[in-house]
Structure 1
Amino acid sequence: MRTTHRPLTTVALATSIFMAALEVTVVSTAMPTVVGELGGIQSYAWVFTAYMLSSTITVPIYGKLADLYGRKPILLFGIGLFLVGSIASGLSTTMNMLIAFRTLQGLGAGAMQPVALTIIGDMYTLEERAKVQGAFSAVWGVAGLIGPVTGGLIVKYLSWHWVFFINVPVGIITFALLLAFFHEQVQRKPQQLDFLGAGLLAAWVVALLVGVQGVGQNLWGLPVAAVLLVAFIMVERRAADPVIPMSIFKHPAIAISSVAGALFSAAMFGSTTYVPLYVQAVLGSTPTVAGGMITPMIVGWPIASVFAGRLLLTSGFRPLIVGGLGLTVVGTTLMALLLKPDSPLLVLQLAMALFGIGLGFASTALLIAVQTSVGWELRGVATASNMFFRTIGGVIGVGLMGGVMVSQLLKDPSIPISAANALLGPEHGHGVPPEMLKTLSGALSTGLTINFWLICAFTVAAFVSGLFFPKVSRNLSSPVAAADAAAPH
C-alpha cells in the first residue's frame, strides 16, 4: 500500500479550493459585461443559481459516494467534470448556453470543496486540523486579491470568455497531483446509493428555487417544495443507506451549523453577486472597481480563519461562532445603510471587511464542530451535508434577490428588456433615451437596495441561530476525537 504524500496532497487540495474561490470573484465582476453582450438580464440570477443548484444537489451524493468508494475517485471525477463545464462555459454564445454549461460546471464543483475538506479532516488530527483548516482558508484570500483584478483585466483586454478558461491549467495540475500523490485504503461494502432519496432531494431544491425566485409568480413552487421535503425526510428515515442520514442532526452542533450555514451563505453569495452589479450598473464604475468592493470580504475571511484555527482549542467553538456572526450583522447593516451613490467606497469596503472577518471566525468553527461530532465513517456525509446547507442557502438567497431585482426592472411594461440589458453593458446604457435610462437606473437601484436589506436580515437570523449553539467538548480523549486520529491513510 503506497502512502499519501501529505504536503503535495495538501497543495492539490488547496488548488482545488482555489478554483472554487477564484470562480466567485472573476465571474461576478464579468457578469454585467456578459449580459451587455449576450442579453438576458431576466436570466441574470440563473447564471449563478444554475451553478449553485447543480452543485447543491450533488454535494450530499458525492459525500455519500466518498464514504462508500473513497475520496480520491470522487474528487478526481468532480475536477474533471468541472473542467469540461468551464471550457464549455467559455465557448458559450448565448445566455441559455452559458446557463446550461454552468450547470455542468456545478455538477463537478459539487464534489470539489466538500470532498477536499473531508480529506483534510482525514489526514490531520483535531489539533492539527484546527490550524490547517484556518491556514487552508488563506487560499480564499489569495483568490480574493487576484480575482477582481484578473477579472477586470480579462474583460478589458481579452474577452469575458476567458474568465472560465482561467481555471483549466489550475485544474489539470490539481488532477495530476492527486493522481500521483494521494493514496487511501478504503474498505468497500456492498451498499446501494439511495436513488429515491437523491431524486426527491433534487426535486425539492428545484421547486424551492422556483418558488422563491417567482416573487409573486410561480409561488406554487413553495407548497410543492414543502411536500417534497416531507417525503424526502420520510424516505431517508426508512432508507438502509440514506443520502443524508437524519440521525446526524441529533447532534445539536450539526443541526445548528446547518441552519446558521444556510443563512450566512445566503448573505455571502447575495453580496458577491449583487454588490458588483450595483457598483457597475448604478454607480457606473469599472469591473475592476466592482470586484474591489467584495475583495475586503473575501480577504477578511481567511485572515480571521487563521486566527480562528489558533483560538479554537483554547476558546472553544461557541465564542467564535457567536462573535463571528455578530460581526457579520454589523458589516451587512453598514453595507445596507451606506451602499448609496454618494457614499465613499472606502467606508463600504470597511463594512465588507467586517462581514468577511465575521464569516471567517464563524464558518471555521462551525465546520470543525461538525467534523468532530462524528467518526470517520460518517465524516464525509456530515461535511457534505454541511456544505449542502451552505450552498442551498446561497441558491435560495441569490434566487430570491434575482426575483426582486427583475420584478423592479419589469414594473414599467413600456420599457423594453433590451434597454435593461444595455444598462448593464460596458457603455452603461449609451444610446438609450435619457428618461428611460433614468427610470431603469432608479428601478435597478431600488431592487438592489431591497436586496442589501435582505442580506442584512439573513445575517441577523444566522446570529440568532448561533446563540443556540451548545458547548461542545473538545476533549481529545473523547470517542469522536479518538476516531479523528484513526483515519485510514
Structure 2
Amino acid sequence: MKEGASTTVVIYIIGLLPFVMVVGNSMFIPIIPDIQHALQLTAIEGGLVLTVFSIPAALMIPIIGLISDRIGRKKVILVSLLFIMLGSIFSALAPVFFEGQSAFSMLLLGRFFQGVGAGRTAPMAMALAGDLFVGTDRSKALGTVEVFNSLGKVVSPIVGAFIAVYLWFATFFVYFFLALLAYFGIKVWIKERMKEAEPLRLKDYHRSVQEIILREFKWLIPIFLASGVGLLLLFGLMFFMSYYLEESYGVYGTLKGIYLALPLVFLTVFSYWTGKNMGDNKNYVKRYLLLGLSVLLTSFALLIFFHGLLGLLVLISLASIGLGFFLPAANTAVTASVGIKERGLVVSLYSMVRFLGVALGPITFSILMHDPMELFFFSFFLVGISFIILISSWTCIPILRDCSSRI
C-alpha cells in the first residue's frame, strides 16, 4: 500500500477489480440481440460473444497465482487491465470499420483479449487484499471485494441495456474507461510488500494438482460439478431471457435491463444472508447445499410447464434464490475442507470450473432455445444429476440428524 494512502481508498480500488471482471459479461448480456441484428448473426454466434470472453478467463485462473508469485500481483493486474482495454478498443471499433463476418471476427478477437485480462482481476483482488492487510482491515477488504462483485452483477445489465438504446457498441467504451480507472488506481495507490517466501516451482505445482485431485476427488468433484452447473444455468438463463423478452414480449431498453437484474438481486441478497447465517458448521453447510439444489430443481421442474413472462420472471428468480443458498455453502465447503497450504490451489481450480460454467451457459442455451420446454427439461436433468452425484459422495446426510463426518 502506498505510504500515506487511505486504507478505505485502497480497499475500494481493489474492489474495482472483481467489478471489472463481472461487468465483462453481465453488461453485454442485454445487448446480444442488438449485436446479432447489427451483424446478422445466428443465436449461436451471439452466444459466442459471451463464451469467447469466459473460456480464456476461466483457463487463466489456475495459473495466475503461480505467475503472480514470480513477478508480483501489481504487475499481473496492470497487464491484465491493459488486455481488457485493448480488447475493448477492438470490440468497439469492429462495427465501425468492418461489416458482417469481418466485424464479428474482430469483435470476437476483442472479447478474447478482454477475457484473458478479466480472468486475472478477481483472483488477484483477493490475493492483494490478503497481502496488504491484516486483521480487521483484511476482513473489511475481502468483504468489499464481495460487495463489488455482487454490485457488478446487479448494476451491469441495467447499464448495458440503457446504453444499447442509443448505441450498442458504446458499451465497450464504457468497459474501456472502467478498466482505465482501475489501472490508474492500482498504478498510483498500490505498493506491494516484499515477498517473503520462495514461489512454488511449476513441477511442484503440477504435482500438487494431481495429489489434491486424487486424494479429495470423492467430495471435491461433486461440489465443483454442481457449482459449475449452477452458474451454467444462471448465465444461460440470462442469455435466454435477453432474447425472449425482446422477441416474444417486446421488452427493450432499460426495462429489459431491470428484468435481467431482478434474478441477480435475489442471488446477491440470499448469498449475503446465507453467508451471514450459515457459519462453518458442517451440518449447516450440507443443509444449505441440499436446500439450494432442491430449490433449483423445483424451479426448473415448474419452468418446463410455466414459461410465460410472469412464470419466467418468478421462477428464474426462484432459481437464483436456490443458487443464493447453494453457492456460499459450496464456497465454504471447498475452502474449509483443505489445509492452508492447499487452499489457494483448490480455490483456483474451483474458480476455473465455476467460470467454465459461465462460459458454457450462453452457448448451450443458444443451441436449445428454439424449444423452451426441451431447454428447461434439459436444465432440470442437469440439476438432478448434480444433486444425485453430490449426496452420493456423502457418508452422512444431515436430514433430521447431525453428522460429524467430513464434508
TM-score (norm 1): 0.69
Question: Aligned residue for 2:124?
Answer: 115
- 1:29-44 superposed matches below 5 A: 29-41=30-42, 42-44=44-46
Q: CA offsets, 1:268-289, max 9 Å, x none?
A: 2211222211211233321434
Contact residue 84 and residue 105 of structure 1 kept, 8 A: yes
Report 1:246-325 matches (<5 A): 246-249=210-213, 250-251=215-216, 254-313=220-279, 315-316=281-282, 317-325=285-293
> By how many angstroms is 1:258 displaced?
1.6
Opposite residue 171 of structure 1, the aligned amino acid is: A
Alignment match, 2:401: none
AA of the residue aligned to 2:159: T
Taking the aligned partners of 2:132 and 2:340, their CA distance within structure 1 comes to: 11
* Cross-structure match for 1:339: 307
Q: CA deviation at 1:377?
A: 4.7
Is the aligned partner of 1:163 residue 2:171? yes
Q: Is 1:271–1:455's contact at 8 Å kept on the other side of the alignment?
A: no
Shift of 1:184: 3.4
- What's the counterpart of residue 360 of structure 2? 396
User: Equivalent residue for 1:13?
Assistant: 14
Q: Deviations over 1:422-443 (max 9, x none)?
A: xxxxxxxxxxxxxxxxxxxxxx
In structure 2, the residue matched to 1:360 is 324
Identity %: 20
Q: Any residues of structure 2 matched to 1:65-464 within 5 Å, and which?
A: 65-93=67-95, 94-120=103-129, 136-157=145-166, 159-179=167-187, 180-181=189-190, 183-187=192-196, 189=198, 193=202, 239-242=203-206, 245-249=209-213, 250-251=215-216, 254-313=220-279, 315-316=281-282, 317-340=285-308, 343-344=309-310, 347-375=311-339, 377-405=341-369, 444=370, 446=371, 448-464=372-388
CA contact (8 A) 1:301 1:356 kept: yes
SS of alignment partner, residue 82 of structure 1: helix
Task: Tell me which amino acid in the other structure corresponds to 2:125.
Answer: A
Tell me, in whole angstroms, the C-alpha distance in 2 between the residues paired with 1:452 and 1:133: 36
Secondary structure of the structure 2 residue equivalent to 1:462: helix
d(CA) in 1 for partners of 2:388 and 2:138? 27
**2:25 is the alignment partner of 1:59:** no
Structure-2 separation of matches of 1:122 and 1:253: 30
Distance change (3 Å), C-alpha of 1:17 and 1:335: farther
Q: Kindly report the root-mean-square deviation, in angstroms, between the aligned alpha carbons of the 2 structures.
A: 3.3
Please give the per-residue CA displacement for 1:291-328, whole angstroms capped at 9, x wherever unaligned. Answer: 33331221112212222222232644222222222222
Conservation of the 8 A alpha-carbon contact between 2:54 and 2:355 = yes
Equivalent residue of 1:338, what SS? Answer: coil
Q: Which segment is superposed worse, 24-33 or 378-387?
A: 378-387
Kindly indicate whether the alpha-carbon contact (under 8 Å) linking 1:300 and 1:360 is maintained by their aligned counterparts in 2: yes
SS at match of 1:245: helix
Taking structure 1 as reference, are residues 390 and 29 closer, same or farther at Cα in structure 2, changes over 3 Å only?
same
Question: How many angstroms apart in 2 are the aligned matches of 1:95 and 1:134?
Answer: 38
- CA distance 1:271–1:125, change in 2 (3 Å): farther
Cα pair distance change 1:287/1:124, threshold 3 Å? same
Give per-residue Cα distances to partners, 1:3-48, cap 9 Å, x unaligned.
Answer: 8965434322322222233333321111101111111215122111
5+ residue gaps, structure 2: 96-102, 397-407
Identify which range, 71-80 or 260-269, moves more after superposition: 71-80
Amino acid at match of 1:352: I
Aligned partner letter, 2:32: M
- Count of aligned positions: 382
Is the contact between residue 60 and residue 244 of structure 1 (CA under 8 Å) also seen in structure 2?
no
Gap change, CA 1:190 and 1:349, over 3 Å in 2: closer
Contact 2:21 2:119 in 1 (8 A): no
Residue 99 of structure 2 corresponds to: none
Alpha-carbon distance in 2 for matches of 1:334, 1:135? 36
